[in-house]
Amino acid sequence: MASILDQKPSNVPLDPNTKLSADEGTPLEDPSLYRNLVGPIEDVTYAAQAHGQFGQQPRTSHLTALYQVLRYVKLCPGQGLHFPSDNQLQLKAFCDSDWANCPISRRSITGYCIFLGNCLISWQSKKQKVVSRSSTEAEYRALADCKCELT
């Protein structure tokens, strides 16, 4: 683990061009290292979702991509939420979807963030529960998830 932390930090947790799959790479002899490394990055929601789906049979390509996440986390010590006392109590929400993004299940990814004034108070990025037939349907599902969180 120390050799991982000695590597150069990364500005992004997961390369957007990296597409992980269940059969790429060689299966790891001992998946416990992979599983132990995935656990602490759960706050990096999209990256954790992308890596978490391969916990049963992680491969070398998954471990390489996971190291990228750890280098990103290394760059961000002390990051946290800040709530200034002069903050306005105005609720704002933003949502989006990435239609059929998962190459395995073809399910879309929903993402949203909710702000109270300028302070981030809630966020999520996850696969949608069903396969959307269009990008419009995926966007409506993302909007519905965001509305439920707001409610």
Q: What is the 3-state secondary structure (H, E, C) of the chain?
A: CHHHHCCCCCCCCCCCCCCCCCCCCCECCCCHHHHHHHHHHCCCHHHHHHHHCCCCCCEHHHHHHHHHHHHHHHHCCCCCCCCCCCCCCCEEEEEEEECCCCCCCCCCEEEEEEEECCEEEEEEEEECCCCCCCHHHHHHHHHHHHHHHHC
Residue 147 has pLDDT above 60, yes or no: yes
How far, in Å, CA of 124 to CA of 139, rounded?
Answer: 15
Q: Does the predicted TM-score (pTM) go above 0.75?
A: no
Which of 94, 95, 92, 93 has its CA nearest to residue 117?
92
Q: Of 3-7, 83-87, 96-100, give the range with the top mean pLDDT.
A: 96-100
Q: Of 30-39, 109-118, 135-144, give the range with the top mean pLDDT.
A: 135-144
